[in-house]
Structure 1
């Protein structure tokens, strides 16, 4: 899938969100604290910064990746989403919790800091890639 396709998928998903919420571009801009022109750009395929993507995801009550998921693939992800939404943890998540329970608090806190750093690293990389893609040619 090319960059143009991803941009258009995002724009279509954003329009779907507007339709589902029954709001216009100005209202979405107000809710996200951005100018309506920003929303208009997004609907033309400009990808917003990660902080705005996260706000959109929260507003949509969907994960960020939903905005980039091609139509028709929702069914492929339902099983994954069902597992995530289950209150009981399974597999590696349960194993991680069990391991953390056996460690001293200081080690657990260090592991959490390390994981947060790794997450932040990937978020920065994603923002960097999005910025590069949105640069004028």
Structure 2
């Protein structure tokens, strides 16, 4: 029964992230966010940044590189639900599902309830 509940709880077509998660630490919010471009692909590396830092990085990117769109976004802090929100993912990748815009991935430990498990792809590319 627990496995069934988990499968229902975490699906690509059902948003389970919170737009108002508990606050992250100041050191997390000041983590370095980097974007690298490799030919036609780009990756956004997020370290342990939280939603505030991801929004600040999005502001910077929109103001300085308005046409730059990440192909892949690393969900911060191994996919911790405290470090990402649907709103900030939508800023980087477009509204869910964002067909053709890019993907978000998380490296998640087995049976880690505080981490996202399925909201690892924002679209099919």
Could you state the TM-score of these two structures normalised by the residue count of structure 2?
A: 0.21
Q: Of Structure 1 and Structure 2, which has the larger fraction of its residues in strand?
A: 2
Larger radius of gyration: 1
